[in-house]
Amino acid sequence: MTAPQKAFYSCVDTASIRTMPQPLQHLAIGAMAERAGGKIVSYLGEEPYTLVSHEVLLARLKTSSPVHGVVFMRLAQFVRGDRIHIDVMRRLIEQGYELHFARERVSIRTLEEAREACRKLYIWDWTEKRGRMRLPA
């Protein structure tokens, strides 16, 4: 007898649609859900004004059927401005949800895994900003 498949929400990265269209994001997110032992049961995306708070996702989790977690396109969905917004990530983990990130192939199920992912995310964000700086001639 096989274990039942896990159910996940897909949360596309609306901030990067220009560089990665939604159809490609859906493919990557679906593949990550399979790696995590499940499938996508519903799709959602944040509005530009809810990117930091993840209000759309949080509202959906309150009003819908139980799911095991959320598959995001990338960890950078938790970076806005100069901050990594770990508060929502922490809240989801404390409520028992798994968080998976397709681009980085990272799965977060515990607060320690979230802290480690945020350390990596901080380093990535710092190097991204440095990479955009112009070097003196």
- Residue extents of the structural domains in the chain: 6-131
pLDDT of residue 130: 67
Q: Coil, helix or strand for 15?
A: helix
The topology under which CATH files domain 6-131 is: Rossmann fold (3.40.50)
Contact 114, 86 (CB under 8 A): yes
pLDDT of residue 109: 95
pLDDT of residue 137: 47
Q: Is the pLDDT confidence value at 107 over 50?
A: yes
pLDDT band at 117 (very low <50, low <70, confident <90, very high): confident
Helix (H) or strand (E) holding 111: helix 111-131
pLDDT of residue 63: 86
- CA-to-CA distance for 127 and 133, rounded, in angstroms? 10
Average pLDDT over residues 36-64: 88
Tell me which DSSP letter residue 136 carries: P
Residue percentage of the chain with pLDDT more than 90: 46
Let me know how long the chain is: 137
